[in-house]
Amino acid sequence: MYLIEIYKSVQGESSFAGRPCIFVRLAGCNLRCTWCDSEYTFKGGHKLSEDEVVAEIEKLAPGKLIEFTGGEPLLQERELVPLMQRLLADGYELMIETSGERPLDHVPAAVHKIVDVKCPASGEGGSFRMSNLEFLGKGDEVKFVIANRNDYEFAREFIRQHALEARAGDVLLSPAFQKMPSIARSTENCVLDPRELVEWMLADGLDARLSLQIHKFVWEPQKKGV
């Protein structure tokens, strides 16, 4: 399995935000979102066996919540799924962040899936694999990163058309973050002002959760490995 980094921090997005979490960041992605903040994962990575990954996780103990992220972690599904099964058996609580393009059918049901639906301004609109809707449950969350009003309207219609709030535990709307943020821990680094997004949600009575990337407010936005 090719990894970029394993580290401990607080979970930054989703309904798990604020909880201490061990992050396992896998290398490689097959998408190229315009606002991607993880381009350093696209190439390289170091190869670790399943035993070596587990040993690295154990070094970061105590910690029972683990998130697999990337890049796109499901590009390494063949190695990742057995690792997940082993960690679940060891009593860990697992999350995975995925672009929504890769199939979810082999991800163990007990893993909390945070699944993106890419909006038009990402440049990867239309990449969501519609059959993945069938694999969402109440332990899972669907996330839209919103850069402008057009993205918001796309998300709103997708949520309504597919009754996402009934399929998943949460629906997240997250303002896109600047690719070149200042060092200020400020909403000025958001492409879309969160206040504007909230006003749209309230005006439409949208049953979704505003999601801010809180690690970019706890630490300087460009800091890696946090």
Judged by the rule CB under 6 A, the positions of this chain that interact with ligand SF4 are: 29, 31-33, 36, 38, 70-72, 99
Rounded distance, CA 152 to CA 135, Å?
Answer: 24
Dig out the tokens for 20 from the structure: 């201490």
Rounded distance, CA 139 to CA 159, Å?
Answer: 17
Smallest gap from Cβ 69 to ligand SF4, in A, equals 8
Cβ distance to ligand SF4 smaller for residue 31 or 197: 31
H helices of the chain, in order, are 50-59, 77-89, 149-161, 164-167, 194-204, 215-218
Residue 141 parent element (H or E) = strand 141-146
Smallest gap from Cβ 128 to ligand SF4, in A, equals 11
- 5 forms bridges with which residues in the sheet? 25
Cβ distance to ligand SF4 smaller for residue 112 or 118: 118
Smallest gap from Cβ 121 to ligand SF4, in A, equals 12
Cβ distance to ligand SF4 smaller for residue 45 or 70: 70
Dig out the tokens for 202 from the structure: 């309230």
Smallest gap from Cβ 55 to ligand SF4, in A, equals 26
Cβ distance to ligand SF4 smaller for residue 92 or 145: 145
Rounded distance, CA 47 to CA 173, Å?
Answer: 34
